[in-house]
Amino acid sequence: MSNSNHSSPGTSNKILIIPSASDFHIHLRQDDLMDMVVPRIAEGGVSLCYVMPNLKPPITSTEQALAYKDKLEKLESDVTFLMSLYLNPDLTPEEIRKAKAAGIVGVKSYPRGVTTNSDSGIESYKVYYPVFKVMEEVGMILNLHGEIPSDIEQDICVMNAEEKFLIHLKELHADFPELKIVLEHATTKAAVEMVKSLGDTVGCTITIHHLQLIVDDWAGQCHNFCKPVAKFPHDRQALRDVILEGHPRFFLGTDSAPHPAHHKECAQSCAGVFTTPLALPYLATIFDSFNALHMLKSFACENGKKFYNIKEEKCREIKLIKENWLVPNSYSFSNTQAGIVVPFWAGKTLTWKIDSN
């Protein structure tokens, strides 16, 4: 399958044909919210996703991961779900070997308190070196939420927490050069440059919303608020530039993270942007805006699977057509008035849509 323009650029009947996308960072939640989100994955043009483990309680064992995977597969059989464990003090080398044998793909590290459901996160990496050593041996992925906690005395806040984290990424790679490490949801030029400077075992996900947002777009706008926060215009440009460059170690991880609207529209807004139902239409619209449609297939459909060494059986052909249409204002997940999620760019115009015919 290949990109195919059946008419001149800019015309209303422009067509783009690509394989279904792979989302290497997604939050699928629990209970009623999970029941709404999971069937929306395929609707957004995605057929494979790497599932984050920060549930309540977090997924810390092989048995928990497999039980969660079973729930997901019962909700959506046309999607491949790759599972992960939550890095925590009780995780042992023996559990890593058990997880690998059961098909668990990786382990996610959350610095304590920096994002949703991260209260059980890590404070120091050194104590996990025996775990990382076995992960390196058996071929599991280490996924890093690349921020350190805010610290007033050290002049650290949400705007520089990612850049301050990067020395840890460099050290981990130096200490475990054969361990595949993914820096998740990069938001800064510094992160892009660091990943590019390291070896082939270091990859990086980029979200949909960070390709569009800058700090002005989330300050005071709760439905654009996520962590890590969007940064400066030059940082967004660095994300776009590395995609235009076609760098093979950068790939899609939406970090789509739905919250009930009343948990976003409040004094202390939850961090998270919901993009799952419209993943490819969002991407095509944004890529088109910076003349990157020719890189959509590699970024969203190929690079991640190559880095993870995943062969997918459920991939299908997606036809995108150039047509203006509006993002829904909300998605319902229960019969109560509070049971709605507001998606990214709610009520705004997208210029590409998936042809459902």
Q: What is the pLDDT of residues 186-210, one digit of tens each?
A: 999 999 999 999 999 999 999 999 9
Residues 139-160 have a mean pLDDT of 95
* 3-state SS, residue 323: strand
Question: Length of the chain in residues, anyone?
Answer: 357
The confidence score (pLDDT) of residue 42 equals 98
Q: Pairing between strand 331-332 and 340-341?
A: antiparallel
**CB neighbours of residue 294 within 10 Å:** 13
* 3-state SS, residue 225: coil
For 300-319, the pLDDT digits (tens) are 999 999 999 999 999 999 99
For the annotated catalytic residues, the residue numbers are 25, 27, 108, 145, 185, 255
The confidence score (pLDDT) of residue 2 equals 42
Whole-model pTM? 0.94
CATH of 21-313, one of 3.20.20.140, 3.40.30.10, 3.40.1160.10, 3.30.9.30: 3.20.20.140
Residue type for position 125: Y
For 235, the token pair is 């940082």
pLDDT of 1 strictly over 80: no
Alpha-carbon dihedral of residues 88, 31, 222, 87, nearest 10 degrees?
10
Residues 336, 263, 52, 350, CA torsion sign: positive
First to last CA, the chain: 18
Question: 302 — phi, psi (to 5°)?
Answer: -125, -50
For residues 123 and 200, give the distance between their C-alpha atoms in angstroms, rounded to a whole number. Answer: 27
For 109, the token pair is 């590290």
Beta strands in 150-304 (DSSP E): 181-184, 202-206, 250-252
For 52-96, the pLDDT digits (tens) are 999 999 999 999 999 999 999 999 999 999 999 999 999 999 999
pLDDT band at 117 (very low <50, low <70, confident <90, very high): low
Residues 257-269 have a mean pLDDT of 96
* 3-state SS, residue 286: helix
pLDDT band at 12 (very low <50, low <70, confident <90, very high): very low
Contact 192, 242 (CB under 8 A): yes
Q: Pairing between strand 84-86 and 106-109?
A: parallel
